[in-house]
Chain A
Amino acid sequence: MLEILRLNKIYDGQPLLTEISLTVAAGETLCLLGASGSGKSTLLRIIAGLESAESGEVRWDGQNLADTPTHLRNFGLMFQEYALFPHLNVLQNVAFGLRSDHLRRAREMLALVKMTTFERRRVTDLSGGEQQRVALARALAPAPRLLMLDEPLGALDRALREELLLELRQILRRSGIPAIYVTHDQQEAFTLGDKIALLHDGHIVQAGTPPDVFAKPASAWVARFLGLGNLVLAGEISGEAFARFPASATLLLRPRARRVKSGGTLRGVVADVLFRGDFYRVTLENGLFFDLPEAPQVGEIIFLQVETQIL
């Protein structure tokens, strides 16, 4: 299993990663979630041995990898722009990391990603989704002991992303290879991750299973980044239910709310109603939004029972 111990990385004189500690257990997929520039890709590159950290350790099964060069680590890395070799065809790309018996294994991998008929094609002629599949097959072919994926779906359009995401989930589960999946998309992280870790300003601000993180965001930043709902200061919102919080506390009001005849946690004037398919997103005049099954009238005064969490 992979252990990262108190890793620090400085880039251009600025700390890029600070005291990062992580573990990835056998068969587990860890999703590393963070905004662009948060150092996610750099962390992957350090694990792969493509870059070195100022301090800290990367360990595999207890052994420090500091002196193991990239090509001897047997970690797979799927690059953001795939980095398929333009001078090799699809099959040759997949077979690149294989030593012996390679064509059979490469073909198996191509079958796994449903690209069997593309064997002889030039990689430069492939669409984005096809390149992504070939890159995945290439990374999986040498049976790496750890697979890292750097925003592998970033360059694809939405429909394709959803389709590939589910396939990826299946392939990762079936192969049993532990994986680190880097993304800025919480949907992807929740779909794929056994665990997720949120990276912000070079720190891991929260790590845990997706339901845990969803239920108990560790900070206002996490709640905002994951789009969990309304974030307000307790002192800036009126209502008896909020009086028990200190005025400077940040509150998370989940959008999931129940309309009541009177009382409830919150009272407000409807400013806007958006049809969202399964529900209506109702925005109040104070800027808070809630999802309701039935549409109220604009200008109507409504009472809501709301889930409130202090962060």
Chain B
Amino acid sequence: MRNRLFLLLPALIFLALLFFFPLGRILAYSADFASLSADQLRRAAAVTGFTTYQAALSTLLTVALGLPLAVFFARYRFPGQNALRALTAIPFILPTVVVAAGFSALLGPRGWLNLLAMRIFSLPTPPLNFLGTLTAILTAHVFYNTTIVIRLVGGALETLDPRLTQAARTLGDSPLRAWLRVTLPLLRPALLTAAALVFLFDFTSYGVILLLGGPKFSTLEVEIAAQATQFLNLPLAALLSLIQIFFTLAFSALYGDQARRGLTPVKPVESTPGRIARRETPLVLLGALVTLTFFALPLLALPLRSVTRLEAARGERTFAGQALTLDYYRELFINRRDSLFYVPPLQAALNSLNFAAQTVILSLALGFPAAKALARPGKLTRWLNPIFMLPLGVSAVTLGLGVLLAFSRPIFGWKLLTSPLLIPLAHSTLALPFVIRNLQTALALLPERYREAAAVLGASPWQVWRRVEVPLLARALLSAGIFAFTISLGEFGAASLLARPETPTLPTAIYRFLSQPGGLNYGQAMAMATLLMLLTGLSIALIEKLRVSEVF
């Protein structure tokens, strides 16, 4: 018991300092809401209203696309199906700035569609007005989260006993009626779970709103950041954060509740792989085509746009015509402005890699001992598990604000806000729940008898750890580490509040370049977003590979 507490102590101190203390500061500041003007309170209400509205609408659309796709993937077997399903999952793992850049590359004023249309039809201005609209926000959200519905509802569909619908059919129901009366009610828990989760993600969406919605739209996340950094109205920012926390916790609870209920097992019977009847072939083709178009185009548009010149560069009178180019990548190495606070984009990439590496070390160093202490079920575990998962329920922007408020003054002479450790520490808070959960699962799966066998053979506890646990958990450690790396690499919300101008991260630099005029800036944003996409994709592919071959 004492040993376990000792293992937990570093992580608990860390959370107390970088999570609970900042949260407390938010609470303290928001208690000051009496000082806010009526206008500001109205603003808070309006922002909360819009946040809920866009999240609800996004969720509705996500389910509207996800449910048919879930049925489509569960019902039909066709070549390339697994690849197609995997494609729908890719957006979910990408950083928001990458997705935003992808849509911008496809549909933005400098995107493929607009530039091609302008050239073909000799139009003076981009015909398609996508960026800065609610449509853009909704589209990106659907793009992001459809995979949740496909995965959860599809999973439920596959374990559904087919005899139930067959029974309904023998009792006189048409296929549609049987689906509505039997299948759909049985899918309800999965559907609600998925919807709650999607809503949660849409509600706390930050990068998408900021980059695709533009200045017209403000959700809680965007407003918190704006109030905290531009208007310096900390009480209002804190109040908004409190509202945000309340909503996320409520929906997390709803999600957890539904998820548990969804676990009621429906007797699994050998699944019936649907052969495709001839009259259904067009339907399957259509489904595959829609999926491919919607999910692949933004992902392809981005890297292609980063190596293609589609418009005249600044200073060029006439446009020589589109051509492949590596200019945007070359520019990443150059500091064009020669200003003190301006750094070449490459530096942002190096910063991000550096921060991500530190996040990996920090979160593993804190998370592994904690996971070890929590691996065995018990009273301690029951109490502490939710505490370690709490950071998941708080948005990155809120966390960033909390850290800003908590460390605005030096603590024990330690100026965290100017410390190069700031971003790694904040990112470790976000990564820690994932690291602990991953390692906890792996540790729980590691049979006790290996440790015991080693002890019987004369290995001291330290040797057991070094010679048995670490080698056996190498994969889990590696994959948890890569997970932390990926989280840090693409994280935008906290970084946009905390990253100092002279040390931008890759996502904040992409945001900066996207919001600046000029084809060259745009091209560089595309190049950086492509790099980020590749790095993230590579990391996740590595995790998947490690997961597949994990056996004891």
* Distance between Cα atoms of A139 and B454 in the complex (Å): 10
Interface residues as binary, B422-465 with A (CB distance below 8 Å gives 1, 0 otherwise): 00000000000000000000000001011011111111110110
Chain A, range 40-60, C-beta contacts under 8 Å to B? 45, 48-50
Least Cβ distance of B364 to chain A in Å? Answer: 19
* Distance between Cα atoms of A251 and B551 in the complex (Å): 54
Which of B463, B467, B551 has the largest number of chain A CB atoms within 10 A? Answer: B467
* CB < 8 Å neighbour of A83 from B450, B461, B464, B467: B450
In this assembly, does B552 line the interface, its C-beta being within 8 Å of a C-beta of chain A? yes
* CB < 8 Å neighbour of A86 from B457, B461, B464, B552: B552
The answer to whether B449 touches A79, judged by C-beta atoms less than 8 angstroms apart, is yes
The answer to whether A70 touches B456, judged by C-beta atoms less than 8 angstroms apart, is yes
Least Cβ distance of B292 to chain A in Å? Answer: 40
Chain A residues lying within 8 Å of B459, measured Cβ to Cβ, are: 71, 96-97
Which of A49, A69, A97 has the largest number of chain B CB atoms within 10 A? Answer: A97
Chain A residues lying within 8 Å of B472, measured Cβ to Cβ, are: 85-87
In this assembly, does A81 line the interface, its C-beta being within 8 Å of a C-beta of chain B? yes
The answer to whether A142 touches B457, judged by C-beta atoms less than 8 angstroms apart, is yes
The answer to whether B449 touches A83, judged by C-beta atoms less than 8 angstroms apart, is yes
* Distance between Cα atoms of A142 and B457 in the complex (Å): 7
Chain A residues lying within 8 Å of B464, measured Cβ to Cβ, are: 71
In this assembly, does A74 line the interface, its C-beta being within 8 Å of a C-beta of chain B? yes
* Distance between Cα atoms of A96 and B463 in the complex (Å): 11
* CB < 8 Å neighbour of B453 from A74, A79, A87, A124: A79
Across the interface, name the chain B residue whose C-beta is closest to A73: B456
Least Cβ distance of B155 to chain A in Å? Answer: 29
The answer to whether A83 touches B452, judged by C-beta atoms less than 8 angstroms apart, is yes
Chain A, range 93-145, C-beta contacts under 8 Å to B? 96-97, 124, 138-139, 142
Across the interface, name the chain A residue whose C-beta is closest to B449: A83
Chain B residues lying within 8 Å of A75, measured Cβ to Cβ, are: 456
* Distance between Cα atoms of A84 and B468 in the complex (Å): 11
The answer to whether A97 touches B450, judged by C-beta atoms less than 8 angstroms apart, is no
The answer to whether A85 touches B458, judged by C-beta atoms less than 8 angstroms apart, is no
The answer to whether A71 touches B467, judged by C-beta atoms less than 8 angstroms apart, is no
Given A85-B468, A86-B552, A96-B467: A48 and B456 within 8 A (CB)?
yes
* Distance between Cα atoms of A83 and B456 in the complex (Å): 11
Chain A residues lying within 8 Å of B471, measured Cβ to Cβ, are: 87-88
* Distance between Cα atoms of A76 and B453 in the complex (Å): 9
Across the interface, name the chain B residue whose C-beta is closest to A72: B458
In this assembly, does A7 line the interface, its C-beta being within 8 Å of a C-beta of chain B? no
* Distance between Cα atoms of A85 and B454 in the complex (Å): 9
Which of A45, A76, A86 has the largest number of chain B CB atoms within 10 A? Answer: A86
| Total A residues in contact with B, Cβ cutoff 8 Å | 26
Chain B residues lying within 8 Å of A252, measured Cβ to Cβ, are: none
* Distance between Cα atoms of A85 and B452 in the complex (Å): 11
Which of B447, B453, B454, B456 has the largest number of chain A CB atoms within 10 A? Answer: B456
In this assembly, does A180 line the interface, its C-beta being within 8 Å of a C-beta of chain B? no
The answer to whether A85 touches B450, judged by C-beta atoms less than 8 angstroms apart, is yes
* Distance between Cα atoms of A48 and B449 in the complex (Å): 13
In this assembly, does A270 line the interface, its C-beta being within 8 Å of a C-beta of chain B? no
In this assembly, does A91 line the interface, its C-beta being within 8 Å of a C-beta of chain B? no
The answer to whether B452 touches A96, judged by C-beta atoms less than 8 angstroms apart, is no
Chain A residues lying within 8 Å of B447, measured Cβ to Cβ, are: 83
Interface residues as binary, B474-492 with A (CB distance below 8 Å gives 1, 0 otherwise): 1000000000000000000
| Total B residues in contact with A, Cβ cutoff 8 Å | 22
The answer to whether A71 touches B452, judged by C-beta atoms less than 8 angstroms apart, is no
| A-B interface pairs (CB < 8 A), number | 67
Chain A residues lying within 8 Å of B468, measured Cβ to Cβ, are: 85
* Distance between Cα atoms of A193 and B457 in the complex (Å): 24
In this assembly, does A2 line the interface, its C-beta being within 8 Å of a C-beta of chain B? no
Least Cβ distance of A209 to chain B in Å? Answer: 28
The answer to whether A70 touches B453, judged by C-beta atoms less than 8 angstroms apart, is no
The answer to whether A97 touches B457, judged by C-beta atoms less than 8 angstroms apart, is yes
* CB < 8 Å neighbour of A81 from B449, B458, B460, B551: B449
Least Cβ distance of B450 to chain A in Å? Answer: 6
Which of B447, B450, B452 has the largest number of chain A CB atoms within 10 A? Answer: B452
The answer to whether A76 touches B456, judged by C-beta atoms less than 8 angstroms apart, is yes
Least Cβ distance of A147 to chain B in Å? Answer: 10
* Distance between Cα atoms of A45 and B453 in the complex (Å): 11
Chain B residues lying within 8 Å of A33, measured Cβ to Cβ, are: none
Least Cβ distance of B546 to chain A in Å? Answer: 14
* Distance between Cα atoms of A79 and B448 in the complex (Å): 11
In this assembly, does A77 line the interface, its C-beta being within 8 Å of a C-beta of chain B? yes
The answer to whether B452 touches A79, judged by C-beta atoms less than 8 angstroms apart, is yes
* CB < 8 Å neighbour of A50 from B450, B455, B457, B458: B455
* Distance between Cα atoms of A124 and B453 in the complex (Å): 16
Chain B residues lying within 8 Å of A138, measured Cβ to Cβ, are: 453, 457
Least Cβ distance of B156 to chain A in Å? Answer: 34
* Distance between Cα atoms of A96 and B450 in the complex (Å): 12
The answer to whether B453 touches A71, judged by C-beta atoms less than 8 angstroms apart, is no
The answer to whether B458 touches A77, judged by C-beta atoms less than 8 angstroms apart, is no
Given A86-B472, A86-B552, A87-B472: A142 and B449 within 8 A (CB)?
no
Across the interface, name the chain B residue whose C-beta is closest to A74: B458
The answer to whether B552 touches A70, judged by C-beta atoms less than 8 angstroms apart, is no
Interface residues as binary, A263-282 with B (CB distance below 8 Å gives 1, 0 otherwise): 00000000000000000000
Chain A residues lying within 8 Å of B455, measured Cβ to Cβ, are: 49-50, 69-71
* Distance between Cα atoms of A156 and B261 in the complex (Å): 41
Across the interface, name the chain B residue whose C-beta is closest to A79: B449
Least Cβ distance of A22 to chain B in Å? Answer: 19
* Distance between Cα atoms of A76 and B461 in the complex (Å): 17
Chain B residues lying within 8 Å of A81, measured Cβ to Cβ, are: 449
Which of B455, B472, B474 has the largest number of chain A CB atoms within 10 A? Answer: B455
The answer to whether A142 touches B453, judged by C-beta atoms less than 8 angstroms apart, is no
Across the interface, name the chain B residue whose C-beta is closest to A124: B551
Least Cβ distance of A98 to chain B in Å? Answer: 9
Interface residues as binary, B522-552 with A (CB distance below 8 Å gives 1, 0 otherwise): 0000000000000000000000000000011
Known: A71-B454, A71-B458, A96-B454. 20 other contacts (CB 8 A): A48-B452, A50-B455, A69-B455, A70-B455, A71-B457, A71-B463, A71-B464, A76-B457, A83-B447, A84-B453, A85-B454, A86-B472, A87-B474, A96-B459, A96-B467, A97-B458, A97-B459, A138-B453, A142-B457, A142-B458
Contact residues of B with A, CB < 8 Å? 447, 449-450, 452-461, 463-464, 467-468, 471-472, 474, 551-552
Contact residues of A with B, CB < 8 Å? 45, 48-50, 69-72, 74-77, 79, 81, 83-88, 96-97, 124, 138-139, 142
The 9 nearest A-B residue pairs measured at CB: A97-B457, A83-B449, A70-B455, A83-B453, A77-B456, A87-B471, A71-B455, A71-B458, A97-B458
Q: Can you pick out 27 interface pairs between chain A and chain B where the beta carbons lie within 8 Å of each other?
A: A45-B452, A48-B456, A50-B452, A50-B456, A69-B455, A69-B460, A70-B452, A70-B455, A71-B457, A71-B459, A71-B460, A71-B463, A77-B452, A79-B452, A81-B449, A83-B453, A84-B453, A85-B453, A85-B468, A85-B472, A86-B472, A86-B551, A86-B552, A87-B471, A96-B459, A97-B457, A138-B453
